[in-house]
Structure 1
Amino acid sequence: MRHKIVIALLAGGTMMLSACAGRDGDVARALSGEKEQREIDEIMLSVAPPQEAVAFFRKRLAEEPGEITHQRGLASALVRSKKASEGARVWQEVASNPNATNEDLVNFADAQIRTSDWAGAKATLDAIPPTHESFERYRLEAMVADSQRDWKRADSFYETAVGLTTTPANVLNNWGYSKLSRGDTQAAERLFAEALTYDRTLFTAKNNLVLARATRRAYALPGIPMSQEERAQLLHTAALAAIKQGDTDIGRNLLEDAIDTHPRHFEAAVRALQAMSA
């Protein structure tokens, strides 16, 4: 299907070009070619397999060395294919280009964070003018502030980021985890629950909510949407939290519930229960 889409785009561009002549035709040809290439790039970065996208943009760069558009595509494809270190190097090349944008710097900072280069990410973000306001910029600013344990700035950036998107589930989950790491479990619970109002399928928020509740020894699962398998996994999370806090009998019962609940064999819970009986 992906190749059919690309072929359709190419065919559409050819038909448009065949109708043009003279100077107007040259202009239309150039505009059509640019638009077509942007669409193909978007397809490669969104629906193509990551490794295929990397190969595609490497080929483009070999044909046009130093072209910033191809560098952006390659950097994005590398990050998407979980090659963050290599992606960060390419983003650094993009960021040093005179035609680099503030958004390029944001993407470079994102790649730096993925490689745990927190100091580098902070320096990159600090180089962006304060007038450049975007969800991604403030999401990353919050994460950097978290890494420095600068809680006041982190909370401010998280709050700003949430206000700049209609899909804040992941950033609310990150904010909640930040609160949990500081010991503010009440705020953490609230943020995890709020995240689930935006995305009821976000399992990390469900798991984190169970962990937050467990810190006050509330091991019963919260009233949130969950599949049977998710329920088993959350029972397992609650069980381990209970055992860690010395509530071994409760933990054992929760492990048994997790094993009984899981639609298939739940190896992790079985091993944990066997370890308790050893």
Structure 2
Amino acid sequence: MRQQFFLSASLAGALVLSACAEKADETVERAFQEVNVIDESNLNDVMMTVADPNEAVAHFQRTLKTGPDRIELQRGLAYSLIRAKRTTEGTTAWKKVVSMKGATSEDQVQLAGALVRSGEWDAAKGILDKVPPTHETYERYRLEAVVADANKDWKRADSFYEIATGLTTKPAKVMNNWGYSKLTRGDFTGAERLFGEAIRQNPGLFTAKNNLVLARGAQRNYTLPVIPLDQTERALLLHTLALSAVKQGDVKVGENLLREAIDTHPQHFEEASRSLAALENG
């Protein structure tokens, strides 16, 4: 009888230990799954932001084979295709994202951005019109401004550029875009002001410096503005001014500016040299 009791107690103990072991295994497995999710999430973030874009595309294409219904992977693929400048594929990928369960207003904005890159202005406007007015982001209003620009709806463009400028701590690029919009409309004074503001926000933004010189040249102001410039930038901007002068019939002014650009450049300035030779021999 005692032996039977001992065996029963031993069996019960073994069952308890077995159950504990199974629970421990489940806990460990669950912990590893959680770690894997965290690791994968971190890896996906890295792939979308700092990894080589084409490597990121390959990563998400590979990962999607095991989870085709996971919207975060499809989103990562779409982001990566756009970063890799594979716009047609990226647009298709964003269309798939917005059709999936869990799609957000920001996904629609990203699709609109891909359509803008493809030059599909009407389609981009159609998507932006579907974005709720409560979704107020810099990217949404930057795209709204660009689309309004393409449609020559200047009043709406100015309104959207102004809103976008207020929604970012780094407004230099959108100010430059707004200035270029003013430049194409012939509002040279307004363009000059916006390019100047863009340069104050980001003194290294050479595109804004070049655009500022174009705006001044269009007003027959052929002096360089007082802005931060290194020697190479100064030479390049003198060349831009020279071409503006020639375009407006001020050929002698243009020739003098080209000579100054050649003398200023720290290396041989081939493009300016060719332009000057063409004028002197023309």
TM-score when normalising by structure 1: 0.89
- Distance in 1 (alpha carbons) for counterparts of 2:31 and 2:42: 16
In structure 2, the residue matched to 1:83 is 86
Residue-by-residue CA offset, 1:107-135 (whole Å, 9 max, x unaligned): 11111111111111101101111111101
Matching residue's letter, 1:258? A
Matching residue's letter, 1:147? A
**For residues 21 and 225 of structure 1, do their structure 2 counterparts lie closer, same or farther at Cα, with a shift above 3 Å needed?**
farther
- Distance in 1 (alpha carbons) for counterparts of 2:121 and 2:202: 28
**Structure-to-structure mapping, 1:7-26, within 5 angstroms:** 21=24, 25=28
Q: 1:102 aligns with which of 100, 105, 123?
A: 105
In structure 2, the residue matched to 1:205 is 208
- Distance in 2 (alpha carbons) for counterparts of 1:27 and 1:138: 43
The alignment status of 1:141 with 2:144, answered yes or no, reads yes
Larger radius of gyration: 2
Q: 2:61 aligns with which of 53, 58, 63?
A: 58
Residue-by-residue CA offset, 1:194-251 (whole Å, 9 max, x unaligned): 0111111001100000000111111111010111111111111111111000010111
- Distance in 2 (alpha carbons) for counterparts of 1:161 and 1:185: 21
After the TM superposition, list the runs of 4 or more consecutive aligned residues in structure 1 that deviate by more than 6 angstroms: none
- Distance in 1 (alpha carbons) for counterparts of 2:171 and 2:118: 24
- Distance in 2 (alpha carbons) for counterparts of 1:102 and 1:268: 47
Give aligned-pair identity as a percent: 54
**Matched position secondary structure for 2:65:** helix
In structure 2, the residue matched to 1:189 is 192
**Structure-to-structure mapping, 1:155-174, within 5 angstroms:** 155-174=158-177
Matching residue's letter, 2:139? E
The alignment status of 1:262 with 2:260, answered yes or no, reads no
RMSD: 1.6
Q: 1:274 aligns with which of 267, 271, 277?
A: 277
In structure 2, the residue matched to 1:46 is 49
Residue-by-residue CA offset, 1:18-75 (whole Å, 9 max, x unaligned): xx95665555444433332221112112221122112111211223224221111111
- Distance in 1 (alpha carbons) for counterparts of 2:135 and 2:92: 23
Deviation at 1:175, TM superposition (A): 0.5
**Deviation larger for 41-50 or 167-176:** 41-50
Q: 1:248 aligns with which of 248, 251, 260?
A: 251
**For residues 263 and 94 of structure 1, do their structure 2 counterparts lie closer, same or farther at Cα, with a shift above 3 Å needed?**
same
**Deviation larger for 24-33 or 145-154:** 24-33
**Matched position secondary structure for 1:63:** coil
Equivalent pairs counted in the alignment come to: 259
